[in-house]
Structures are given as structure tokens and as C-alpha cells.
A and B are shown apart, each in its own frame.
Chain A
Amino acid sequence: MTEFSRAEVCAAAIADAFKDDGEIFASPMGMLPMLGVRLAKLTSNPDLVISDGESLFLGGVPPLFAKADVVEGWIPFRRVFDVVAYGKRHVMMGATQVDKHGNQNISAIGDFAQPKRQLLGSRGAPGNTVNNRTSYWVPKHNTRVFVEQVDIVSGVGPARAKAAGPGASKYNDIHRIVTNLGVFDVKGADDTVRLLSVHPGVTVDEVVENTGFALEIPTDVPVTREPTESELMIIRNVLDPKNLRDREVPPVASTDAGASK
């Protein structure tokens, strides 16, 4: 049996989040999302439009942080905002907090007026979440990230979008939350976070213990699929030969066990 790392499982799970998107702009924020999106482009969804994260649409699929050999378009920040409003975009953002209703916070921890910890600011999260498909990547799934209620709502979950009316809800589409432990969506009862699968070697109890709210958990929780031989070849030899992925998601000893229960 082929051995694979937890980071490689995450990359394949992220790739799966983009496989049915068709010909849209895939915007990964951060290293593992970039790896997953490029993996999807080389496997399940070659129609994806990807960028260098700066201002160019890439014609090819270069390794992480490499320069493009072929350019197929220009995407300065002003045009990113245009594509957000146009809707043909799927962004995977980070999240300092995610709550039961799939709201995300990257603004600040504590009271907004004088926060305990100031973070980046809300960036494009408010606009992304009411305009285009949005997913989140959480490299360290724990109870500090997964909280009952976020301190500040940057990214808008479906319940709040509905409460704000059709202007907010018609294009609100929180697709997946991928973490180092499992895969989730926000299609639980009353628009709450639901467990879709646990990664190989992870138990449902481990996920529950590391989540600060009551997750919706199906009776039979599937195991996140293992990366294929060809995906592993692409990840290891083409996209991430320097193995940067293990720095974001360190290897877990039991991952090659392949079973969750």
C-alpha cells in the first residue's frame, strides 16, 4: 500500500473542492490551497483559470512559487474585484475563526473597538462571500478556530446572508471547509457546519474534541479519499518537490493506517 502524508490528503481534498467548478477563476489564499488548486487543474478540472497571486493568469501550471512560462491574462487587483462581482470565481481563504453557522473571522480577536489581537482586517471576505463561491482552509483544526460564534463576521455564512435578504443570499455559496482533520460544509440543519468526511487516521471523536460547537455528524462518516498514485506523483515531483506542504501540515505517524475507526 502506498504511503501518503496528511498534507497530501489535504491537497487532494482541496483539489476535490474545485473539481466541479468548470471554467472559473480559482483563487487560493495560502500554500496548501495553491497546491490543491494546481492539483485540480492537472487532474480533475483542466478548465480552471489560475493566477500567480500577483497580477497574471497563468497558461501553464508551474510548481509552487515558480514563475510562469506562459501567461494567458492580466488580473490586477481591480480586475479581481470585477471577477468577484461577475461571480466566476471560487476563493479558498484562511480563517482565524469559523463558527457553527460558517461565518469566518480574519479581522480581529475580541471586541472590535479595542481588540485583544488585531489581525489582518476583513480584506475581501465580506464581498467574496456574497458574490462568489467561497471555501476555507484551516491547517490547525482546534477549538480556538472552531468557535460557537466568531468575534467579528468577515466572511458571511448562509444564515446571516439569508437574514440580510436576497441581495446577500442569492450568490452566497460557502462550499467547503477543509482542515487537517476533515472536510465540512455548511449544509447542516439551520445552515450549520456539517462533517462530510474525516481524513485517513482521524477519528470522529478527534474532530469533535477539537471543535468548539456541536457539529452535525451523519450516522456513517466516510473517510476522505486517499490521494491516487498519479496525484502523489504530481504533488511530489511536479508541484511541490521541496515538500513545503509538510511545513504547513506536519506528517502524522498513523496516517498510513488508512482507516478512521
Chain B
Amino acid sequence: MSKPRTKVMTIDEVVAQLSDGMTIGIGGWGPRRKPMALVRAILRSDLKDLTIVSWGGADVGLLARAGKIKKLVYAFVSLDSIPLEPNFQRARQNGTIPEVVELDEGMFQTGLYAAAQRLPFLPMRAGLGSDVLVNNTWIKTVTSPYADENGDVEELTAVPALTLDVALVHMNRADAHGNATYLGPDPYFDDLFVQAADQAFVTCEQIVDTAGLTVDTAVQRLLISRMAVTGVVETPNGAHFTTCTPDYERDEKFQKAYAVAAGGSDEDWAAFEERFLSGDEAAYQSAVAAFAAEEAAK
């Protein structure tokens, strides 16, 4: 029986597909279901001058601290239980991200829709009257060709397509061909990210048979179709320290340690990097396990 092609690859093979200056969309939302194993792999690489498009959490903080970001497109950057992301704050206050595009969070979705639909823009109200349009003078408005019920002609924000070179997302389960499910409370916008990108890489907690994707799981949870997927990587605990409900919740203790180090002295951050980010993903996961054991013994 003929089967669609297999797209299983390694984290390092994904990173080898990336190049300097690329526009990379990172799925998830804030500190929720982020493809952190891939973010960590980018940190280990020589990649530079990236444009990062993200409803941001520690993905943005880490890449900013490492000096990887030339341009950042975001609507917020937050760790939720720690509202302000210290590495992002520091980068902004030191002016180390050369170009910054702050959008309304709904505009961000509209921009991804436009890209996924191969449109140059889509109209919406968000942005009008706010400093989003003042600080981003390249974002234009468009006049409706239709009068409204009062005879007024509305001018609306022409939200530009957020077209991506690459999308990186983390899902709960995927098959070897790129079909993938989310098992948590919210799909976020990972289907839009992959459709807005030329190449999309899906990491997941576990690769299963195609049939296994819908055993005990409603078909509506199949968010991503293999049509839009370039590669699949199994990265258990790969969203750590963000949520990957129901496989695991956010590692709040680790997040706190991250935030303390990020908000501390250069030495504090260097010690955190040395302990957790100096090796490969396996080294990271064992350092995290050791950290958890230490915390549990306290």
C-alpha cells in the first residue's frame, strides 16, 4: 500500500535548514506550548539576524538575550505567572533589538491569515487610533469601497501579511507524515503559522501511527495537515518550561529560576547558561531533571 512520505528528522537537521536573516514564526502563545527544543537548538547554532514573529514568551527572551534577533514582530512578551519577561525587557531597554514591530494581538492573527491565504493584507479595525500605526508607519490603512449604514466610508487598518520563511510549532502528537494533534485546551494559532510559512517544522511529544492520532482523541483535535509540513521531530518534554497540557504543565519553579537569572547580574545569567544551555537537548533535559530533584529535596 502506498503511503505518504516520511518526514521524520532530528532537531539538528531542522536547524541545518535555517539560514541567517530568515523570518521565523514561533507557534504557541506566551509561555504555552512553545517549540522550546528548537529554540534551544537555534541558541546553540551560529544563526544570526533573524526576524522572529511570535506571541512571545521565553522563546523571544532567550533569542533576544543571545543576540539572535534583528527584527521582532510581537504583540506581547510574557511568562504569565511572571508578567514581564526579563530578557525581553532588558533587550528593549538596552536597545539591542534593532527593529521592533509591536502589533495588537488580533492584528497578529489577521496578518497570519493574510499570509496563509496568499493575500497582501486583510482589513480590520485594530490599530486605528493607536500608536501601533504611529510606531509602524509602513502599516497603511485602506478605504472601504462600500458605504456603511450611515453613509460613512470607513477607513480600516490594512494588516500586512505576516509571511514567514519558516514556522516552528510544538504539538502533543504527530505522525511521521506531519499530521498533528493538540490535546490541551487551546489550539493557539499553530495551523496558521504553518500555513503562513514556506517551510514548517513540527516537533511533538510523541510520534504515533496515523491511526493512533484519533484513538481516544476527537478528530477535531487534528489541527495540522501534512500538506503544510516539511519535517517532524519527536522531542519529549520539548516545550519545557512552557505548558504542554495534558502531557505536562508549565515548570513554574524552573521558570522562576530562569527569570531570576535573566533579571540578575551578568554572572547570574552566565551561570544559568552554563548549567542549562551549554550542551545539547539531552544535556538540557538531564540538567532539568537534576534541577527538579534538587527542588524536590528542598
Residues of the A chain whose Cβ atoms lie less than 8 Å from the Cβ of B187: 76, 78
How many B residues touch the partner, as a band?
A: 35 or more
B93 at the interface (CB under 8 A from A): yes
Do the beta carbons of A126 and B127 come within 8 Å of each other? yes
B272 at the interface (CB under 8 A from A): no
Do the beta carbons of B76 and A126 come within 8 Å of each other? no
A116 to B194, CA, bound (A): 36
* Interface hits, B112-157 → A, CB 8 Å: 124-132, 134-135, 141, 144, 148, 150, 152-156
* Minimum C-beta distance from A126 to chain B (A): 4
Known A76-B185, A85-B124, A112-B135; contact A126-B89, beta-carbon cutoff 8 A:
no
- Measured CB to CB, the residues of B under 8 A from A are 29, 56, 74-78, 83-84, 88-89, 92-95, 100, 102-107, 109, 124-132, 134-135, 141, 144, 148, 150, 152-156, 185-189
* Minimum C-beta distance from B289 to chain A (A): 28
Do the beta carbons of B126 and A112 come within 8 Å of each other? no
27 sampled A-B residue pairs with Cβ under 8 A: A76-B188, A81-B109, A108-B92, A112-B102, A112-B135, A113-B95, A117-B89, A117-B93, A120-B77, A121-B77, A121-B102, A122-B105, A122-B131, A123-B104, A125-B104, A126-B127, A126-B128, A126-B132, A127-B105, A160-B130, A163-B129, A165-B154, A166-B153, A167-B128, A167-B155, A170-B152, A172-B129
CB within 8 Å: A-B pair count: 148
Total residues of chain A contacting the partner, CB 8 A: 46
* Interface hits, A113-159 → B, CB 8 Å: 113-127, 129-131, 152-156
* Minimum C-beta distance from A76 to chain B (A): 4
Residues of the B chain whose Cβ atoms lie less than 8 Å from the Cβ of A112: 100, 102, 131, 135
**Which of A77, A84, A85, A165 lies in contact with B29, CB distance below 8 A?**
A77
A42 at the interface (CB under 8 A from B): no
B-facing mask of A44-79, CB < 8 A → 1, else 0?
000000000011100000000000000000001110
**A121-B78, A155-B130 provided; 15 other pairs, C-beta below 8 A?**
A55-B185, A76-B185, A115-B93, A117-B93, A118-B88, A121-B56, A123-B76, A126-B130, A127-B104, A130-B128, A153-B130, A165-B128, A166-B152, A168-B128, A170-B152
